[in-house]
Chains A and B, each alone.
Chain A
């Protein structure tokens, strides 16, 4: 148990009066890499945002523990200080604020990522390409010295070359330093470069499958679609 970093217990979550997450059980160990797959609107991004404490979502039942501490009611900034962080799928533009200014405010350590240098004096996410947004996100979360990083669709909108480079940075700056990683992905491309130890499948707000061999999960999904997963709930809990 000491080795468990994040533990989510029977979590039910509402957003806009609608039940989105329905009794999620999940846990990740220190230094572990896991993946969360699922079709659109299955609740993956909500799960990512709830882990970070986005106020819009209401936890109606269940608990979230981080290093054994119940953080279910903690505001986002307190969770970040404990070591949680999130790479956003579509981060918003913050007009007039240069990336370097934000980094100066939040950084616990300085990082040298070659690709990020030209972004530092630009306004956060303003006219950034898809790849530039991902680099900027990575730079921000790495500078926070996190213990766990949740990546929400890190592989969306990236060509293969970019994806390889991003995966290389994640490996060098996080995985090799024993930071836990949860890769939330729709397409699963990133998993070919960062092999997860456990792959979860989410459908309709529930985690319905946990499997060690992500290639096996892919094979089933590619062949039969996510519907097949519904019938295969053996490892879910």
Chain B
């Protein structure tokens, strides 16, 4: 939490602690946006109680940061967020959600709608970090207008008791979305549902999911790519199982309604290769050290967050 004070939107439990505005960017609690900008109501199915509204009207050089935490017991957050990126604008958003302690029985429920107007670019890094008693469910709707570009990475290496994620992405002509989802599951249930619709010609969707199932974890991944127009889509789901009492169900689904579209998928669920373990042990690593290294490699390195020229670790926000 060391860097949280420079976040553009900072909420603890239900209270907005800080809003840090930048030129060309409107940041408000969702409920204020509902009152102030009537047009936003079309994007919320009811009046929001909490959450943020971010409207980016011009290019911002440093990434925007949002932090939403749970710090007290039995808090039930019900967030509604709206992000709007105007035409030709390029922006990065780092989004952090976490429980400050590990035994708070928190409930973090969220709905976010993200709209990228023509020719805009958005890069989102979304980090979660939870305690074993928490429950988390979030739903993201992305709408990409012509030639818009989205890169979205989600990373959760400490899962709650139950984690449910749902992404729905709609791509118009020549737009592209690239999702990377990385989850390390220990002692909990994970349900990932991910759907991308290629609605315009030359649209391009990629979804890569990496999950590791350790002790008593149950993981379900349902990823779907739908081609309604002549676009290109790829699904990729790789899972590693580390423990006997964990399981992974991977269900990639391709639906093609256009003969000029191209959809592909790859999926694999398996244990750590013995050869790799032997190899690393022959370099002097113990079996546990070798497993940790292989898992870290499988999940991929965290992309560095750069704020005002400084490299910042995601843990500093959580």
Contact = CB atoms under 8 A, between A and B. Distances in A.
Contact of B294 (A52, A91, A97, A105): A97
- Range of interface residues on B (Cβ < 8 Å): 20 to 34
Given A95-B298, A96-B296, A96-B298, A144 B284 contact: yes
Contacts of B293: 94, 97, 101-102, 105
Contacts of A140: 283
Contacts of A55: 278
For chain A, which range describes its interface: under 10, 10 to 19, 20 to 34, or 35 or more residues?
20 to 34
A88 B281 CA distance: 12
B297 A96 contact: yes
B298 A80 contact: no
B240 to A, nearest CB: 11
B184 to A, nearest CB: 13
A77 B276 contact: no
A76 B281 contact: yes
Nearest to B297: A96
A177 interface: no
Main secondary structure of the interface of A (DSSP, over half): mixed
Given A56-B274, A92-B279, A97-B296, A106 B285 contact: yes
Nearest to A108: B284
A144 B276 contact: no
B286 A77 contact: yes
Contacts of B280: 94, 102
A92 B276 contact: yes
B266 interface: no
A95 B283 CA distance: 16
Interface string A56-81: 10000000000000000001110011
B282 A52 contact: yes
A215 interface: no
Contacts of A123: 297
A54 interface: yes
* Residue with the highest number of chain B CB atoms closer than 10 Å, among A55, A85, A88, A96: A96
A85 B282 CA distance: 7
Nearest to B238: A95
The listed residue with most A CB atoms (<10 A of its CB), out of B282, B285, B289, is: B282
Residue among B281, B283, B301 with most chain A CB within 10 A = B283
A184 interface: no
Nearest to B276: A92
Nearest to A76: B281
Interface string A124-149: 00000000000000001000100000
A88 B296 contact: no
B156 to A, nearest CB: 17
B300 interface: yes
Contacts of A11: none
Given A96-B296, A96-B300, A144 B279 contact: no
A119 to B, nearest CB: 15
Contacts of A94: 276, 279-280, 293-294, 297
Interface in B267-316: 273-276, 278-287, 289, 293-294, 296-301
Which 10 residue pairs across A and B have the least CB separation, nearest first? A96-B297, A97-B297, A80-B284, A76-B281, A92-B275, A106-B283, A52-B282, A92-B276, A76-B282, A77-B284
18 contacts: A54-B278, A54-B282, A55-B278, A76-B278, A80-B282, A80-B284, A86-B282, A88-B279, A88-B282, A92-B273, A92-B279, A94-B297, A95-B297, A96-B297, A97-B296, A102-B280, A105-B285, A144-B283
Given A76-B281, A105-B285, 9 more contacts: A55-B278, A75-B287, A77-B281, A88-B279, A92-B273, A95-B297, A97-B293, A106-B284, A106-B285
